[in-house]
Structure 1
Amino acid sequence: MINVIEIQPGSKVSLVGGAVGEVIENMADGMWLMVRYLKIPGGEAGLEELCHAQDVIDVLPNDAAI
């Protein structure tokens, strides 16, 4: 599992199910991030939602193509 406490707002994260999100806010509790979906299979990009630490697969480079 990724240590979400270290993830900064503006970071891109890959999530379970093939979604990619941009971190809007880190709740700094080690469990939750507020993300804006940049890519979500079967969903609408732009949606903002809380994301649990167990759903974060990786932190992507800032220049990663989405």
Structure 2
Amino acid sequence: MTKKGNVDIGIGVNLMTVTEGQRLRLKNGRIGEVTENMGDGQWVEIKFDDSDEPELIHSQDIDAVS
């Protein structure tokens, strides 16, 4: 379940439409900016405000475009 009380059925953001510079919210509540989209529909690289290095994030961990 997400923090909103919704049941997580595995439907997420379509990463094929996400571009660099967009902000994404993860299911754990973290929000970060896309620094690179791998173009495979599953992985993006995101830079979070609390970290110096971008992290590779899988589509299953993304809740919404912020």
Alpha-carbon RMSD: 1.1
1:63 corresponds in structure 2 to none
**Higher fraction of helix:** 1
Structure 2 residue 51 is the aligned partner of structure 1 residue 45: yes
What is the aligned partner in structure 2 of residue 22 from structure 1?
33
Q: Indicate the structure with greater strand content.
A: 1
Percent identity between matched residues is 35
Query: Where does residue 60 of structure 2 map in the other structure?
Result: 54
* 1:11 CA drift (Å): 0.2
Residues 7-33 of structure 1, C-alpha deviations (whole Å, 9 max, x = no match): 000000000211001000000000000
**Which structure is larger by alpha-carbon Rg, 1 or 2?**
2
Structure 1 moving runs of 4+ over 6 Å: none
**Equivalent pairs, count:** 55
Unaligned runs of 5+ in 1: 39-43, 61-66
Q: TM-score, normalised by structure 1?
A: 0.76
Specify the code of the residue in structure 1 equivalent to 2:20.
P
